[in-house]
Structure formats: structure tokens, C-alpha cells
Amino acid sequence: MIKAGTYCVAVSRKSLMGSTIDVGDYVYVTDIRVAPVKKDDPYLQRIFVMAIKVDKVTGFHEVPDTKKSEGSNNFKIYMLDPRGLEILSEEETSRMVECVNRTYDTKE
């Protein structure tokens, strides 16, 4: 089951419609949200994941700049259907965590 703090790979373009994420892209799930499927029926709801893109080679996380000042980045947080994602293997997840630790010089 996908939960916040999970690294995933996009596997289905159909479930990612409306985003710039392509099949094969890595994402990091930051949150889980529930939202109505249709505007006219707020009781019919689906679970969506909030995710950011992750470079699969360098492990760079495209964290959006919330200040939106001059020189801020244009990275986005995406609201995705989790049916279009698969959890990365433990080995690949470990590699992504190592990249983050190197980037931010943190200890595990």
C-alpha cells in the first residue's frame, strides 16, 4: 500500500492524466488526500497521493518553492491517482534515500 514517505515509479499514463509525469518517472509521495470524484456528488470520493518528481539518476527531489519570489523554482506538487504508481524496490528506495542524505548531509 502506498503511503506518505514512499518512493514510487509511474506505470500508467492513463492514471496520470493532467500531469507532466511520464511512465517511468520516479515520484516521492508526500501526503495522501481524499477528494470528490465529481463536483456534483461530494460524497463519491477517491484517494489521491500528493507527490513530487525525483530524478532517477541523481536522486534530486523537485521540492516546490512556496515563497514564489523572484528566482524561485517552478517545481510542482502533483495530485495523482495511486493506481498509476508502483512502489520502488527496497534497493532502489535505499539508493534514493542515500541521495537525499548526501544532498542534505544528514545521517540515517
- φ/ψ of 57, rounded to 5, equals -90, -50
Question: What are the residue boundaries of the structural domains of the chain, listed by start?
Answer: 7-104
CA nearest 22: which of 56, 49, 50? 56
What distances in angstroms separate CA 27 from CA 8, 10, 23, 66, 69, one per listed residue?
5, 8, 11, 19, 25
Q: Could you tell me which residues come within 8 angstroms of residue 26 by beta carbon, excluding any fewer than 6 positions away?
A: 7, 8, 9, 10, 53, 54, 55, 56, 88, 96
| pLDDT at 11 exceeding the cut of 90 | yes
Q: For residue range 16-39, what is the model confidence (pLDDT) as tens digits?
A: 777 788 899 999 999 999 999 888
Statement: residue 70 has pLDDT above 70: no
